Amino acid sequence: MAMKDKDASQSSILSFGKRVRKEQPDSGEEKDGEDGYREARARAREAPMLDVVFTDGRIESFDYSLPKRVTFLPEGRLILRFGGDSIVVEGANLARVREQIVEGRRRFIRVGTEAEEGIKPEDAPHIEKIEITEADS
């Protein structure tokens, strides 16, 4: 039986489709890709330094590669040690701030205003005071 031009063109289209069709990843590969994307996105948000912003506009920056210890006190205090310098942060609901600092994701901390405190949700972090003690040089 001879093949007609119409049959030949349909056959070649079908074989071309088979050659260029991409294999679909199984759900495991897709999930690994999503996890990798989320991890890369989280790493892209990591800050190389933590800025401490004061109400007078002064900013002190601390290198995230230097933290020696972060202490969380549930009564509303964080103690951050960068090299020999210490930063004491006082406020309310500071657990999330501590977590972000420990993970290197917090870009800055700053003293909040009374007006901000009044409009924040009750469980939102609020920093009332920041004090830096420099190491003896």
pLDDT tens figures, 51-100: 999 989 999 999 888 768 999 999 999 999 988 899 999 999 999 999 99
Q: Are strands 108-110 and 49-53 parallel, antiparallel or unpaired?
A: parallel
The two structure tokens encoding residue 42: 């989280």
The two structure tokens encoding residue 98: 């501590």
- Using an 8 Å Cβ cutoff, are 99 and 131 in contact? no
State the pTM of this model. 0.63
Over pLDDT 90: what percentage of the chain? 42
* Distance, CA of 87 to CA of 118 (rounded, Å): 25
The residues near 122 (Cβ < 8 Å, ≥ 6 apart) are: none
- Using an 8 Å Cβ cutoff, are 96 and 125 in contact? yes
- Using an 8 Å Cβ cutoff, are 95 and 89 in contact? no
